A = this chain, B = another copy of it.
Amino acid sequence: MLKGNAVIGQSGGPTAAINATLAGVVRGLLEADCIGEIYGMRNGVEGLLDLRLINLREAICGEEALCLLSHTPAAALGSCRKKLPEVDGDDNEYRELFSILEEYDIRYFFYIGGNDSMDTVAKVSAYAQKVGYEMRVMGVPKTIDNDVMGTDHTPGYGSAAKFIATSMQEILRDCAVYTVPAVTVVEIMGRDAGWLTAAAALPRLHSDIAPDYVYLPERSFDMDRFFEDIEAALRRHPNVVVGVSEGLRFADGRYVGESAQSGVRDVFGHRYLSGTGRVVEQAVKEKFGCKTRTVELNILQRCAAHIASETDLAEADMVGRAAVEHAIAGETGKMMGFERTSNSPYAVKVIANDISAIANRIRAVPDEFINERGNDVTDECLRHIEPLILGEPKLEYVGGIPRHFSFK
């Protein structure tokens, strides 16, 4: 059994469940005899390189603190968007990183993040093997986008989907009170995959009210067909509500929101998107002359821990613990994931996949989950998502708002 110290990092966009995974990894490590110190990197590998480490055995005292951490949104350790260089290129940065790992006798390396973070895991793992440094490197997925390969779904998605479905039902009620024809456009995150936008249609399963359409980035957006949809909806009732993904593109590949954005790209080359909803709203206003409104769910959809999914939080913890077990059992260069063994009753088992097959690839909403016209998702899709949003966590409130955990 490999003895040594462990380090944990969080990376990428915050979610309501990433701290539950941190708590799960810590819980797993606390139970393991072969683990010495447990360090947290502040702001991911960026903080590791700057030696900004925190001793988690001291900083998280007891189960009460772990429970509070699990119910706190965003990344308690901080995050980063650092992209490591190619393993076979100039290795100055890797040599610096590994001298730190060696100095601290780090033999277990856990990194919790989305697609871009799995790229970091793959590279750290590959470099360790290349230079013969014995270390178990495990990736634990999180992303509200649910677009990571090698897993049925990602921790963080269920909570975001629950917020979106709940908010959409509330927005629908709000929009239903007037009799004046109006079109409300709800803009939802998800640059490359429509899982979050699909969740906006969930009220349809049990409520008397549902959005008229949801438009996913898996289908090209056609303004003329969209106008036909809106016209038909306005004939049915005055209060039309549609969900649109921020990542919608026209057939020629241009983002719908592109006209309203700066063209700035992040370090991974992704464009910053914003404004898809407003572009669509403006087009409706000009075409139909009716009242219009855009609601951007914005960062609330990734940080609204007050309406987190208990299923999501429990799974986020489970996959964190499992990462520790797999690492201690000798695995490395793996990403933890879920395999859904049954949908009704819902059941999953934890799996570990080779990370090199997973990093930098996108898991889109499959064709059979999208209707023929490309303006809605199927009931089968909604029944696939529903188990992930079930259950409400028991939160501790102080002064009327949820109590949160924070370091120092």
Contact = CB atoms under 8 A, between A and B. Distances in A.
A174 B299 contact: yes
A178 B401 contact: no
A251 interface: no
Nearest to A77: B177
Given A170-B304, A170-B306, A399 B177 contact: no
A207 interface: yes
B169 A80 contact: no
Contacts of A389: 399-401
A116 interface: no
Given A179-B43, A296-B296, A390 B386 contact: no
Indicate how many identical chains form the complex: 2
A10 B302 CA distance: 34
B400 A391 contact: yes
A150 interface: no
Interface string A387-402: 0011110000111111
Nearest to A165: B401
Given A174-B302, A179-B46, A169 B400 contact: no
A176 interface: yes
Contacts of A305: 170
B404 A173 contact: yes
A153 B368 CA distance: 51
A177 B304 contact: no
A193 to B, nearest CB: 20
A207 to B, nearest CB: 6
Interface in A277-323: 293, 295-300, 302-307, 309
A206 interface: yes
Contacts of A173: 14, 72-74, 303, 404
A306 B293 CA distance: 22
Nearest to A43: B179
Contacts of A177: 10, 14, 43, 74-75, 78-79
Interface in A54-105: 72-75, 78-81
Contacts of A406: 208-209
Contact of A399 (B175, B205, B401): B205
Contact of A398 (B10, B206, B299): B206
A128 interface: no
Contacts of A306: 166, 170, 307
13 contacts: A14-B177, A43-B177, A78-B178, A170-B306, A171-B299, A174-B302, A202-B399, A206-B401, A208-B404, A307-B307, A309-B400, A386-B400, A389-B400
